Amino acid sequence: MTWKVIFYETEAGDSLVWDFIFSLLAKDQAKVVRALDLLEEFGLELRAPYVRSVTGRRKLWELRVRGAGGAYRILYFAFTGQRMVMLHAFVKKTKKTPRREIAIAEKRMHDFLRRHEP
Say how far residue 86 (Cα) sits from the centre of its chain. 4
Indicate whether 57 pLDDT > 60: no
Indicate whether 39 pLDDT > 70: yes
**Contact criterion met (CB below 8 Å) for 72 and 85:** no
Mean pLDDT (the chain) is: 93
4-7/83-92 β-pairing: parallel
**CATH of region 4-116:** 3.30.2310.20
Q: What is the mean pLDDT of residues 88-107?
A: 94
Per-residue pLDDT at 58? 62
Per-residue pLDDT at 113? 95
**Annotated domain spans of the chain:** 4-116
Other Cβ atoms within 10 Å of 56 Cβ, number: 15
**Contact criterion met (CB below 8 Å) for 85 and 112:** yes
Per-residue pLDDT at 55? 72
Q: What is the mean pLDDT of residues 96-108?
A: 94
Q: How far apart are CA 63 and CA 90, in angstroms?
A: 11
Beta partners for residue 61, in sequence order: 53, 76
Per-residue pLDDT at 56? 59
Q: What is the mean pLDDT of residues 37-64?
A: 89
Indicate whether 35 pLDDT > 70: yes
Indicate whether 80 pLDDT > 70: yes
Percent of the chain with pLDDT over 70: 96
Indicate whether 70 pLDDT > 60: yes
Give the Cα-Cα-Cα angle 31, 113, 11 (nearest 5 degrees). 75
